[in-house]
């Protein structure tokens, strides 16, 4: 048997030794397109598995098994390299010796799979497992016996549509030198323009879990290992221990949807870093490069300066990233040539509309020095990485025209110049504000930012949908207001074009425009000044020749903020023969402005009874007050067609018998604090408004009614913070809490405290004590039969406002109940009774005592027991011997009465001369 086990172990070890060969790799996926390059089925993918292996190992995979993540597994053939008789018709991999990686080759396996349907929220996880890794990986214990594992996750859904995973353009093999900074970038490019992020992770086992004992390279090798989550730049400054190290880089793919930015896939790359012990070399240097933002159609051209601290070194520069895979593609000259330093390479990329997208185009430059003949001890080429992001944005519509018609505005604009095939223009977003903005977009400032004052009012669908009718969501626009518009295009990935030029216009002013609803007095016979500007009689807005007099105006009024034409009161009617005799104001009296706002509307007629139209109603400003401790909060409402942009807060000064302006705000509320409780304060608000129209008053002042209030402390103190020190051995609970007057929370008049208690965590807290001094923040409850319970504190101020409860603190008993194992009921008054040792927090017991034959000789529920050794039936003293008991102890705890079982025995020694038996 031992011989068999030895043979099995030998064969197993031999298998692992021959299987070891995997160094690095990844899995990528591309949605399958038809012959015309169109995606017709978002469920069908062509998957590529790329592995890097040691050619010294006898193990060589002509094919690999892949798990597709939907319960299906297939075998993928190796497709690269020359044909191999052992792998017909597949290839044999490509040797990388000439690329600086001797005894290493790259293997590519491909296959096509159609998924049965959407993946659901977990995605489909594609997996490849293969024995085994190469030997001697410093941060993977016994790596020769650790299987190699790769995975990629796809999220497949009709909402996502056709999507391919990122492509990794830089191989996952790199070399570092002990004591020198190491730089690497996977050169990830997303063919769909999706956003990518990067993160580090441990190498995984075949269950997708971290390899047992795995450590990150800097743990074994020293230095600091970081990964830039935006660019993918991996930096290790600097490894201190030579060896082979593996690390996983996750490339996460993101896309913007109506409900936010969501993940749509993840590629796991397992990469290898070979740290050489001694190198007479320093890293080359690429000068810093700035990120760029350019208009589509711009030629992007900039120099890339390369240098190296080592005299005599030559450096080659390579470029990676999306622009090198587009049409037209970017160029770097010279490229991939070792050249004497310093030198300058030139990057060039002719952008066009196909490059417009939300995410920037990352371009990674990698400088690599050579094995300089002047430094014969140099063994490792070192690198520098520099990544620049190029954002390509679309010019916006070239023009925007706005034409008023009745109570609407008709907008028309130019077609957006860009409509990328893979990121097509979804349509346009229309924005509006009152009055010109004076805003011009800054570089790369696409769309219409909120700070400009523009508000999104609508969208159109399709690049050719270049008209829009603004009717203010059916409510109609307001005469007299200068409306300004901007339009921008938006794309399927969330990108936006630059905004169109700004275009402004106003409706025809053929009806009056109210400018003032100003409260003049508040009292028993209140009055409001109503002012307006009459129509423009210029033959365009209102034609007095075509629409002769007599002219009539009706001023109507409704209480509140909404004008109701069916219940409105006719305040006055004005009839004049000439247009220029029309009035421009009216003083409306006999009102009750203290209890109500009022809304006004003007109806305008020509030829006496021909209604030209109604103006937009406008209300007075109405304020409310909310008294509090030493403060009053003012808030106000209104409903007007103009924009109130500023409010002066006025308070009556009883000393000077005049109104003082105490503050200015742009919001619709104001806090007046540092007041005296019990004193009456009176206020009104002066609203400053405008139509932002040069032909109307630039600033209009409209006052609210006067409103008085008295500050009173209705604000409860803030909650104290409680701690409880409990000593269950002596039956004592000490409560200590913070004084809210000292907590910097706005409380300064706490005068007493309430102590709340519940014996358990279920029952409600009950008031059990009060503390009458605010400085007394400790109370002690002693001599307690039970310390279990829950406590809380509330603070009370001078106005009997009670704070919220403090934190609730619960404490528990520490019950104890122990029985002796011997007693001597012999009448000598020493140990004559079977009693417990001193006990705590026991409600009662259920004790039964049996002789050795199982006969019950005694029972009780009294915790003190006091058994005198006599049989409970006969009354005779029990014979000497061992008696067994079973006792249920009902202990008093926070959760209630909790039973605990005790079982044991007691020795009875009762014989003594002269004692009755």
pLDDT tens figures, 812-834: 988 999 999 999 999 899 999 99
Give the chain's length.
Answer: 917
Strands 722-727 and 732-737 come out as: antiparallel
Question: What is the Cα–Cα distance from 140 to 144, expressed in whole angstroms?
Answer: 9
Question: What is the Cα–Cα distance from 840 to 3, expressed in whole angstroms?
Answer: 67
Q: What's 324's DSSP letter?
A: G
Q: Which of 398, 404, 397, 400 is nearest to 469 (CA)?
A: 404
> Token digits for 842?
């026991």
Q: Which of 286, 288, 289, 282 is nearest to 316 (CA)?
A: 286
- Could you give the 3-state DSSP secondary structure of residue 144? helix
Question: What is the Cα–Cα distance from 149 to 205, expressed in whole angstroms?
Answer: 6
Cβ neighbors of 36 (< 8 A, separation 6 or more) are none
Question: pLDDT per residue over 759-809, tens digit each?
Answer: 988 899 999 999 999 999 999 999 888 899 999 999 999 889 999 999 999
20 pLDDT band (50/70/90 cuts)? low
What's the average model confidence in pLDDT over 157-165?
Answer: 90
715 pLDDT band (50/70/90 cuts)? confident
In sequence order, what DSSP letters do the residues of 527-551 get, joined into one string? EEEEEEEPPP-SSSS--TTTS-S-E
> Token digits for 677?
């409780």
Question: What is the Cα–Cα distance from 559 to 593, expressed in whole angstroms?
Answer: 10
Q: Give the helix/strand (H/E) hosting 553.
A: strand 551-559
Cα separations (Å) of 495 from 134, 255, 297, 430? 45, 11, 17, 15
Q: Phi, psi at residue 859, to the nearest 5°?
A: -155, 150
Question: pLDDT per residue over 877-891, tens digit each?
Answer: 999 999 999 999 999
**pTM surpassing 0.75?**
no
The four Cα atoms 34, 35, 37, 40 give a dihedral, to 10 degrees, of: -20
Question: What is the Cα–Cα distance from 149 to 128, expressed in whole angstroms?
Answer: 6
In the chain, % helix, strand, coil (3-state, to 5) comes to 5, 45, 50
Contact 54, 143 (CB under 8 A): no
Q: Give the helix/strand (H/E) hosting 4.
A: helix 2-19
Cβ neighbors of 866 (< 8 A, separation 6 or more) are 833, 834, 835
Sheet holding 722-727, edge to edge: 722-727, 732-737, 778-781
745 pLDDT band (50/70/90 cuts)? confident
913 pLDDT band (50/70/90 cuts)? very low
Report the pLDDT value the prediction gives residue 916, as an integer from 0 to 100: 39
With a pLDDT cut of 90, the percent of the chain lying above it is 75
Report the pLDDT value the prediction gives residue 749, as an integer from 0 to 100: 86
Cα separations (Å) of 806 from 429, 795, 802, 811, 832? 52, 9, 11, 15, 52
With a pLDDT cut of 70, the percent of the chain lying above it is 96
> Token digits for 202?
């441990």
Q: Which of 356, 304, 380, 362 is nearest to 335 (CA)?
A: 304
Q: How far is CA 679 from the centre of its chain?
A: 47
Contact 149, 128 (CB under 8 A): yes
Whether 869 has a pLDDT exceeding 70, the answer reads: yes
Intra-chain end-to-end CA distance of the chain, in Å = 72
Question: pLDDT per residue over 414-428, tens digit each?
Answer: 999 999 988 899 999
Strands 167-168 and 243-257 come out as: unpaired
Question: What is the Cα–Cα distance from 727 to 737, expressed in whole angstroms?
Answer: 18
Q: Give the helix/strand (H/E) hosting 892.
A: strand 881-893
617 pLDDT band (50/70/90 cuts)? very high
Report the pLDDT value the prediction gives residue 379, as an integer from 0 to 100: 57
Cα separations (Å) of 248 from 203, 207, 251, 665, 857? 6, 15, 10, 55, 74
Question: pLDDT per residue over 308-350, tens digit each?
Answer: 998 888 999 999 888 998 889 999 999 889 999 999 999 999 9
Whether 3 has a pLDDT exceeding 50, the answer reads: no
Strands 643-653 and 681-690 come out as: antiparallel
Contact 705, 623 (CB under 8 A): yes
- Could you give the 3-state DSSP secondary structure of residue 354? helix
Question: pLDDT per residue over 338-381, tens digit each?
Answer: 999 999 999 999 999 999 999 899 999 999 988 544 444 445 78
In sequence order, what DSSP letters do the residues of 363-399 get, joined into one string? EEEEEEE---TT-TT--S--EEEEEEEEEEE----S-
Q: Which of 680, 687, 662 is nearest to 672 (CA)?
A: 662
Question: pLDDT per residue over 291-308, tens digit each?
Answer: 999 999 999 999 999 999
Q: What's 910's DSSP letter?
A: -
Q: Which of 569, 557, 646 is nearest to 600 (CA)?
A: 557
Question: What is the Cα–Cα distance from 111 to 149, expressed in whole angstroms?
Answer: 18
In sequence order, what DSSP letters do the residues of 726-769 get, joined into one string? EETTTTEEEEEE--GGGTTSS---EEEEEEEEESSSSSPPEEEE
Instruction: State the chain's mean pLDDT as an integer.
Output: 91
Contact 535, 508 (CB under 8 A): no
Whether 277 has a pLDDT exceeding 60, the answer reads: yes
> Token digits for 460?
């159109």
216 pLDDT band (50/70/90 cuts)? very high
Q: Give the helix/strand (H/E) hosting 849.
A: strand 842-850
> Token digits for 2?
């031992």
Using left for φ > 0, alpha for ψ between -120 and 50, and beta otherwise, residue 435 falls in left
Sheet holding 314-321, edge to edge: 292-295, 383-393, 361-369, 314-321, 339-340
Q: Give the helix/strand (H/E) hosting 847.
A: strand 842-850
Cβ neighbors of 482 (< 8 A, separation 6 or more) are 434, 435, 436, 504, 505, 506, 691, 692, 693, 694
Please list, residue by residue across 878-906, b when 16 or more beta carbons sit within 10 angstroms of its beta carbon and e when fewer do: beeeebebebebbbbbbeeeeeeeeeeeb
Question: pLDDT per residue over 24-51, tens digit each?
Answer: 999 999 999 887 778 888 999 999 999 9
What's the average model confidence in pLDDT over 257-280?
Answer: 89
128 pLDDT band (50/70/90 cuts)? very high
């Amino acid at each position: 048997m031992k011989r068999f086990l030895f043979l099995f172990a030998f064969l197993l070890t031999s298998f692992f030794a021959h299987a070891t060969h995997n160094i690095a790799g990844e899995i990528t996926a591309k949605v399958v397109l038809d012959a015309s390059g169109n995606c017709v089925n978002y469920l069908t993918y062509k998957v590529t598995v790329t592995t890097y292996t040691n050619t010294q190992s006898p193990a060589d995979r002509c094919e690999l098994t892949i798990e597709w993540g939907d319960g299906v597994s297939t075998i993928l053939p190796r497709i690269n390299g020359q044909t191999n008789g052992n792998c017909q018709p597949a290839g044999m991999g490509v040797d990388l010796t000439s690329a600086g990686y001797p005894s290493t080759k790259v293997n590519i396996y491909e296959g096509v799979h159609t998924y049965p349907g959407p993946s659901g929220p977990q995605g489909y996880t594609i997996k490849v497992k293969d024995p085994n890794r190469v030997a001697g990986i410093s941060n993977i214990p016994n790596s020769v016996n650790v299987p190699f594992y790769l995975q990629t996750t796809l999220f497949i859904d009709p909402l996502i549509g056709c999507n391919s995973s990122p492509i990794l353009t830089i191989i996952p093999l790199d070399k570092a030198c002990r004591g020198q900074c190491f730089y690497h970038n996977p050169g990830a490019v997303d063919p769909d323009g999706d956003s990518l992020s990067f993160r580090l992770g441990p190498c995984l086992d075949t269950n997708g879990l971290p390899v047992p004992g795995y450590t990150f390279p800097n743990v074994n090798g020293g230095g600091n290992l970081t990964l830039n989550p935006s660019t993918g730049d991996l930096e290790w400054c600097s490894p201190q221990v030579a060896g082979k190290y593996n690390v996983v880089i996750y490339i996460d793919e993101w896309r913007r949807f109506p409900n936010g930015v969501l993940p749509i896939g993840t590629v796991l790359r397992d990469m290898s870093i070979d740290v050489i012990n001694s190198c007479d070399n320093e890293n080359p240097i690429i000068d810093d490069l700035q990120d760029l933002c350019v208009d589509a159609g711009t030629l992007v051209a900039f120099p890339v300066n390369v240098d190296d601290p080592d005299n005599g070194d030559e450096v080659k520069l390579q470029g990676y990233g999306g622009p090198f895979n587009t049409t037209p593609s970017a160029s770097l000259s010279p490229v991939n040539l070792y050249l004497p330093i310093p030198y300058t390479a030139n990057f060039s990329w002719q952008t066009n509309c196909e490059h417009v997208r939300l995410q920037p185009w990352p371009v990674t430059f990698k400088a690599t020095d050579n094995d300089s003949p002047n430094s014969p001890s140099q063994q490792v080429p070192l690198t520098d990485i520099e990544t620049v992001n190029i954002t390509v944005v679309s010019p916006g519509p070239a023009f925007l025209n706005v034409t008023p018609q009745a109570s609407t505005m008709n907008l028309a604009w130019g077609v957006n110049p860009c409509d990328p095939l893979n990121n097509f223009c979804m349509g346009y977003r229309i924005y509006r504000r009152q009055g010109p903005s004076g805003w011009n977009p800054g570089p790369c400032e696409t769309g219409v930012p909120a700070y400009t004052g523009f508000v999104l009012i609508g969208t159109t669908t399709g690049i050719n949908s270049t008209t829009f009718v603004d009717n203010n969501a059916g409510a109609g626009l307001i005469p007299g207001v200068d409306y300004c518009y901007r339009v921008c295009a938006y794309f399927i990935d969330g990108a936006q074009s630059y905004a169109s030029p700004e275009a402004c216009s106003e409706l025809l002013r053929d009806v009056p425009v109210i400018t003032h609803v100003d409260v003049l007095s508040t009292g028993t016979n209140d009055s409001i000044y109503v002012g307006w500007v009459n129509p423009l009689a210029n033959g365009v807005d209102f034609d007095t020749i075509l629409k002769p007099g007599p002219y009539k105006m009706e001023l109507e009024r409704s209480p509140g903020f909404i004008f109701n034409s069916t219940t409105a009161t006719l305040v006055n009617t004005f009839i004049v023969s000439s247009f220029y005799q029309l009035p421009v104001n009216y003083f409306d009296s006999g009102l009750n402005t203290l209890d109500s706002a009022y809304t006004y509307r003007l109806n305008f007629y020509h030829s006496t009874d021909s209604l030209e139209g109604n103006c937009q109603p406008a209300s007075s400003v109405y304020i409310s007050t909310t008294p509090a401790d030493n403060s009053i909060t003012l808030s106000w409402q209104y409903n007007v067609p103009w924009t109130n942009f500023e409010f002066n807060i006025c308070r009556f000064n009883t000393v000077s018998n005049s109104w003082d302006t105490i503050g200015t705000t742009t919001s619709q509320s104001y806090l007046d604090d540092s007041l005296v409780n019990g004193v009456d304060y009176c206020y009104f608000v002066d609203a400053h408004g405008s139509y932002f129209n040069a032909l109307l008053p630039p600033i209009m002042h409209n006052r609210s009614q006067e409103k008085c209030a008295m500050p009173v402390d209705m604000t409860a103190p803030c909650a104290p913070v409680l701690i409880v020190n409990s000593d269950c051995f002596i039956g004592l609970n000490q409560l200590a809490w913070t004084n809210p007057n000292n907590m910097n929370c706005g409380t300064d008049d706490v005068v007493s405290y309430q102590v709340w208690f519940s014996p358990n965590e279920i029952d409600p807290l009950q008031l059990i004590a009060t503390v009458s001094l605010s400085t007394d923040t400790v109370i002690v409850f002693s001599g307690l039969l039970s310390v279990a319970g829950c406590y809380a504190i509330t603070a009370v101020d001078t106005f009997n406002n009670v704070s919220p409860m403090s934190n609730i603190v619960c404490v528990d008993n520490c019950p104890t109940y122990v029985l002796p194992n011997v007693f001597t009921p012999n009448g000598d008054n020493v140990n004559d009774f079977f009693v417990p040792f001193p006990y705590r927090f026991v409600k009662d017991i259920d004790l039964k005592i049996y002789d050795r034959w199982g006969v019950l000789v005694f029972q009780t529920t009294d915790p003190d027991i006091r058994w005198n050794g006599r049989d409970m039936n006969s009354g005779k003293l029990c014979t000497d011997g061992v008696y067994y008991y079973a006792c249920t102890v009902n202990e008093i705890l926070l959760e209630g009465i909790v039973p605990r079982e005790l079982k044991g025995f007691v020795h009875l020694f009762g014989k003594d001369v002269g004692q009755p038996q």
